[in-house]
Amino acid sequence: GPGLPALPDALRAMTHGALIGARGNSGTILSQMLRGLAEVLAVPREAAAEAAPEPGGRAGSERLRRALRRAGDAAYRAVAHPVEGTMLTVAAAAADAAERAGGGAAEVVRAAYEGARAALEETPEQLDVLGRAGVVDAGGCGLVTVLGALMEAVTGESPRPVGGGRDRPGRAPGPSAGQPAAAADSDATGVTGATGSTDAAAVGADAAAEPAVCTGEGPAYEVMYLLEAGDEAVETLRARLDPLGDSLVVVGGDGLWNVHVHVDDAGAAVEAGIEAGRPYRIRVTHFGPETQRAGQPPRAQRAVVMVVPGDGLAELSREAGATVVTVRPGEPPAAGELVEAIRRAHAREVVLLPNDTALRHTAAAAAEQARAEGIRVAVVPTRSPVQGIAALAVHEPERRFDEDVVAMTSAAGATRHAELAVAEHRSWTMAGVCQAGDVLGLIDGDVAVIGQDLATTAEAVLERMLAAGGEMVTLVLGAEAPDALADHLEDRVRQGHLAVDTVVHRGGQPSVPLIIGVE
């Protein structure tokens, strides 16, 4: 009628709304089914008028059959590892019944509804966890409800209540998809693997289990986000996410996708999305929220988590009260390791110091995951351990959280950093060409000095940094650096810069002979 949107526009709007609003495993799959329907039904006005002159006509019924088949196929394609006894089975049964039905659109829709309903009642026989719990699949139950609404709109007939069918009276659906029970939602669609775990594992969980203990056997987190990315990037993303957990569903198209997966390392799942494109509306749900167990000490108000590259720095940071993540050359920590450290800190508020530019996204993903667990986390973007040391030095738990974070960020930002490294091969740098074995002096991440030995190069780097001013020099010696190097540099600072103090730490970092900080 006048003022109403055309059918193609309405279907496209419905598909888009379902995609961005999907929640849980089943909601994500349903959004892809609606997309499949729209691909067949959202035809141009002229084609629609010619193909389906009236709702009950033969052309209209044929389009409905094709649309329901396309929806069922789209559901299977969306899931990494399809499992029968789920809403996938129900969708396929609806399409099969529609294709067998004669008559017009009303008969097709009625047949699809009855076929889906019959398939739903069989799901407990197809999936053991449903059979043990005496329930039908929750996602399939939702799909039957949607088809029932479609039947009522087309025929005027009210569908029978779902969950209390004639063949199996009283059988009810398990928990809705996306709603955590003991460990996961009851919707098992898309779950497979050597462990045999399913999303429906929660249905069979012991209702009398101790509430402080998560009794499910599946992954601990549900991760969902919208993603702007191209088709090729999404295929790579599927391959990245598949080994991380189960219930992987990636739906959408035309540059916009909805990603759903159950994992233990939520940070890694978010990182994969960052590498694929632009993730947003990130939601991380912890199945079986932690509660304080008997005998467990109360949480501290605030803690600092610090990433450091050497045992000496780790000990120094612990003495200052930080929870430490020690890293080795070429082995950057995953987001899950940082999340575990945040948990170990056992505090309501945590300041995370990554101390490496390359860990920026990893730290952000870990903070996002920890926030989903109810921990207030701030990431101070420290780019070097000496910036972390400066930030830790001004940390005061008694201050308000925001004020403490600002003070630590300011201290880190006021600390210029440099490090010495040994060139592994001939290369072009900002300071010219270096040869294998040359000593490189990097200031704020860029090569500024090329030298032949540690002492001379370190002295040149230090002089450049102090030329811009400074009140304190911090020297962090690597595992192979001689103590005489620190003595030599201290003497040079004392002779040339009387007002500058020098602090020396034996950091023990294996691959960087010297780290320098100037505040």
Neighbours of 100 (CB within 10 A): 11
Same domain, 283 and 238: yes
pLDDT at position 166: 38
Query: Do the domain assignments include residue 181?
Result: no
- Spatial distance between the Cα atoms of 269 and 281, rounded to a whole number of angstroms: 14
Same domain, 406 and 501: no
- CA proximity to 184, closest of 219, 141, 223, 228: 219
Segments of the chain scoring below 50 in pLDDT:
45-57, 164-170, 175-216, 289-295
pLDDT at position 336: 85
Instruction: Pull the structure tokens for residue 220.
Output: 């601990």
Strands in 237-382 per DSSP E = 245-253, 256-263, 278-286, 300-308, 323-326, 347-353, 376-379
Query: Do the domain assignments include residue 185?
Result: no
Same domain, 392 and 491: no
- Spatial distance between the Cα atoms of 476 and 458, rounded to a whole number of angstroms: 12
Same domain, 421 and 406: no
Please name the residues in contact with 191: beta carbons below 8 A apart, sequence gap of 6 or more: 81, 83, 197, 198, 199, 200, 218, 246, 247, 262
Same domain, 276 and 334: no
Q: β-pairing, 347-353 with 300-308? A: parallel
Same domain, 144 and 278: no
Residue 305: CA atoms inside 13 Å, Cβ hemisphere, count? 29
Same domain, 327 and 270: no
Query: Do the domain assignments include residue 210?
Result: no
pLDDT at position 296: 54
- CA proximity to 472, closest of 355, 390, 383: 390
Same domain, 335 and 442: no
- Spatial distance between the Cα atoms of 224 and 241, rounded to a whole number of angstroms: 12
Same domain, 40 and 59: yes
Q: Which domain holds residue 462?
A: 416-518
Domain termination residue (choose one: 378, 413, 448): 413
Q: What is the CATH number of the domain that holds 273?
A: 3.30.70.1710
Domain termination residue (choose one: 375, 393, 413): 413
Neighbours of 291 (CB within 10 A): 11
Distance of CA 370 to the CA centre of its chain: 11
pLDDT at position 278: 92
pLDDT at position 25: 81
Query: Do the domain assignments include residue 28?
Result: yes
pLDDT at position 206: 26
Please name the residues in contact with 18: beta carbons below 8 A apart, sequence gap of 6 or more: 27, 30, 31, 34, 35
pLDDT at position 56: 45
Same domain, 421 and 403: no
pTM tops 0.85, yes or no: no
Same domain, 149 and 92: yes
Task: Report how many domains make up the chain.
Answer: 4
Name the packing angle between helices 87-100 and 105-126 (round to 10°): 140
Query: Do the domain assignments include residue 209?
Result: no
* CB-CB contact of 65 with 96 (8 Å): no
pLDDT at position 404: 94
Distance of CA 93 to the CA centre of its chain: 34
Name the phi and psi angles at 210, rounded to 5.
-60, 125
